Amino acid sequence: MAFELLTPDEMAEADRLAIAAGPVDGIGLMRWAGGAVAALVLKRFPAVRTVHVLCGPGNNGGDGYVVARLLAETGVAVRLVATGAPRKGSDAALAAAECAIAVEPLAAFAPETGSIVVDALYGAGLSRPLDGDVVQAITRTAAAGVPVVAVDLPSGVSGVSGEVLGNAFAATLTVTFARKKPGHLLYPGRALCGETIVADIGVSDATVAATAARSFENDPSWWRPHFPSPAKDAHKYSRGHVGVFSGGPSATGAARLSAMAAARAGAGAVTVLSPGASLVANAAHLTSIILRRSDTLQDALAFFDARKPEVLVYGPGLGAEPEVGRFALELMSVAEGRFGALVLDADGISSLSHRRAAFFEVRKRGQPALVLTPHHGEFGRLFPEIAANGSLSKLERARAAARRAQAIIIYKGPDTVIAAPDGRAAINTNGTPLLATAGSGDVLSGIVAALLAQRMPAFEAACAAVWMHAEAARRFGPGLIAEDLPLALREVVAGLSG
């Protein structure tokens, strides 16, 4: 599959392996990379008058010398700007030697209207914040409003984390090589890449696989084989039974959103477990969803024994009081032989911030299967040390939390990251700000639960749920409120089935 994400270190490893396997060598990869960028510049900007190619001191700059030479050979007016000569004996020095264009200093660089800028200053090797003439070049480029084509990454964007180191170019088009890097998909880097194109430079799929990369762009192509469809002889309980705990009388809507989403995502039966005080409110709004009174752990146990739900959703609308966290721990303790998986969302996560030690102790058992769906605030409450570690990217934070809690983590936001305790992690890319509407997270918890109840493996189920949630929002379009999402799932499920 082509959805692996390579950190700059893993990419360097892939380059090394490709060179070792031959026949391509380092300068060969560089010529291939520069050729891909030059071809895209010509394709996307056929009428361009002048191309300013900015070259840094490393291999990113080496790619730039190739781009400059090839564009000049096709008759484009090229101005070559460099921060300094590449290191003697490097591939970049070879590429520079093959390029006969006179080099101008970066300090004098000022792009004019009608020109474009090829940013080959820093890519994977960015190691400290940009400063000096480079920052001035970024400012002048932005002021001129000219398009920027970034080689590998916009200079200033970390390929590991998507963070901006000091300052960064805002590219119209980013051309990267072999595979995307996490920094192309994590904010704020994602917004600075513009359109990102992956160019083939002769690094084979087998070579990428040999890097043992464990990060992926979320895409149906790799989880669709696990997507459930009902057996011909299915009955409602064999299709998967989800139980959703409801909040008190003034906070019942969240559980119903989750329940409706679970039903639309294919659970054969969904039960809302409601405190007695909320029964009337829930009954007034539920039709196909089953309603059952549950005020205590004993009530819940009676439900599990009688109705054998596969998956529970606990959290939406419950309130973040310590008792809510205590009940979550009790649910995990009594799970064995009763239900297979728990989705903890919203208050189910926040309430555990009062009982973190007990929670991590319970999780050492690894049972039941657990999916946590925190947004940024909830993540910080349950995993304060991981959240405070500024050296970790969002991808790495999610991965660390998954390991710590022995759970699938869906770390929500515009660049939702899904991580598993075994080290796999995915970044979602079909998100839409239409989802920034109250209650949309509750819907997501129900989709995850439904897929788990239909026996989809947990990591794949979480990735599928995040993608389906966003896809439903996109299909519905502007005006979306959370109530619209369950029905909008119908088309998404239909598209994925059979």
Ligand X SMILES: NC(=O)C1=CN([C@@H]2O[C@H](COP(=O)(O)OP(=O)(O)OC[C@H]3O[C@@H](n4cnc5c(N)ncnc54)[C@H](O)[C@@H]3O)[C@@H](O)[C@H]2O)[C@@H](O)CC1
- Check residue 412 for interaction with ligand ADP (CB under 6 A): yes
Rounded to a whole number of angstroms, the minimum distance from the CB of residue 346 to ligand X is 40
Residues 6+ apart with CB under 8 A from 182: 5, 7, 159, 160, 161, 162, 215, 393, 395, 427
The interface partner of residue 303, options being ligand X, ligand ADP, K ion, none and the CB cut-off 5 to 8 Å by kind, is: none
Structural contact between residues 291 and 278, judged by C-beta atoms closer than 8 angstroms:
no
- Check residue 127 for interaction with ligand X (CB under 6 A): yes
Rounded to a whole number of angstroms, the minimum distance from the CB of residue 73 to ligand X is 19
Q: Of 121-129, 243-251, 270-278, 309-317, which segment contacts ligand X by CB under 6 A?
A: 121-129
CA dihedral 479→481→486→490, nearest 10 degrees, is: 10
The interface partner of residue 119, options being ligand X, K ion, ligand ADP, none and the CB cut-off 5 to 8 Å by kind, is: K ion
Kindly provide the residue ranges of all beta strands, DSSP E only, lying in 2-76, ordered along the sequence: 4-5, 50-55
- Check residue 202 for interaction with ligand X (CB under 6 A): no
Residues 153-212 that bind K ion (CB under 5 A): 155
- Check residue 122 for interaction with ligand X (CB under 6 A): yes
The interface partner of residue 140, options being ligand ADP, K ion, ligand X, none and the CB cut-off 5 to 8 Å by kind, is: none
Residues 334-363 that bind ligand ADP (CB under 6 A): 346
**How is 173-234 classified by DSSP, letter by letter?**
EEEEESS--HHHHSTTHHHHH-EEEEEP-S--HHHHHHTT--EEE--HHHHGGG-----TT-
The interface partner of residue 388, options being ligand ADP, K ion, ligand X, none and the CB cut-off 5 to 8 Å by kind, is: none
Rounded to a whole number of angstroms, the minimum distance from the CB of residue 446 to ligand ADP is 11
Structural contact between residues 315 and 349, judged by C-beta atoms closer than 8 angstroms:
yes
Residues 144-163 that bind ligand X (CB under 6 A): 151-152
Distances (CA, A) of 334 to 16, 306, 310, 376: 51, 15, 14, 29
Instruction: Give dist(CA 267, CA 254) in Å, integer.
Output: 18
Distances (CA, A) of 155 to 86, 104, 296, 394: 17, 19, 57, 20
Residues 6+ apart with CB under 8 A from 62: 30, 34, 55, 86, 90, 91, 92, 93, 94, 95, 96
- Check residue 435 for interaction with ligand ADP (CB under 6 A): yes
Instruction: Give dist(CA 318, CA 320) in Å, integer.
Output: 7
Q: Is 368 annotated as ligand-binding?
A: no
The correct pick among 248, 249, 439, 457 for binding ligand ADP (CB under 6 A) is 439
By CB under 6 A, the count of residues binding ligand X is 27
Structural contact between residues 140 and 111, judged by C-beta atoms closer than 8 angstroms:
yes
Q: Of 26-34, 101-109, 276-284, 359-367, which segment contacts ligand X by CB under 6 A?
A: 26-34
Choose between 30 and 341: whose C-beta lies nearer to ligand X: 30
Q: Is 62 annotated as ligand-binding?
A: yes
Residues 362-421 that bind ligand X (CB under 6 A): none
- Check residue 13 for interaction with ligand X (CB under 6 A): no
Nearest to 193 by CA among 178, 175, 216: 175
- Check residue 137 for interaction with ligand X (CB under 6 A): no
Q: Is 266 annotated as ligand-binding?
A: no
Structural contact between residues 137 and 109, judged by C-beta atoms closer than 8 angstroms:
yes
CA dihedral 331→423→223→379, nearest 10 degrees, is: 50
Bridge-based pairing of strands 50-55 and 77-82 is: parallel
Q: Tell me whether the omega of the peptide bond preceding residue 129 falls within 30 degrees of 0, making it cis.
A: no
- Check residue 65 for interaction with ligand X (CB under 6 A): no
The interface partner of residue 58, options being ligand X, ligand ADP, K ion, none and the CB cut-off 5 to 8 Å by kind, is: ligand X
Question: One symbol per residue from 120 to 159: x for binding K ion (CB under 5 A), - otherwise; what is it?
Answer: ---x--------------------------xx---x----
Rounded to a whole number of angstroms, the minimum distance from the CB of residue 407 to ligand ADP is 17
- Check residue 29 for interaction with ligand ADP (CB under 6 A): no
3-state class (DSSP) for residue 292: strand
Instruction: Give dist(CA 188, CA 455) in Å, integer.
Output: 36
- Check residue 56 for interaction with ligand X (CB under 6 A): yes
Choose between 174 and 258: whose C-beta lies nearer to K ion: 174
Nearest to 124 by CA among 62, 74, 70: 62
Residues 6+ apart with CB under 8 A from 322: 351, 354, 355
Question: One symbol per residue from 297 to 336: x for binding ligand ADP (CB under 6 A), - otherwise; what is it?
Answer: ----------------------------------------
Instruction: Give dist(CA 251, CA 87) in Å, integer.
Output: 64
Enumerate the known binding-site residues for AMP.
412-416, 441
Residues found near ligand ADP in the complex (CB under 6 A): 346, 375, 412-414, 416, 431-433, 435-436, 438-442, 444, 469
Enumerate the known binding-site residues.
59-63, 119, 123-129, 152, 155, 254, 317, 375, 412-416, 441-442
Residues found near K ion in the complex (CB under 5 A): 119, 123, 150-151, 155
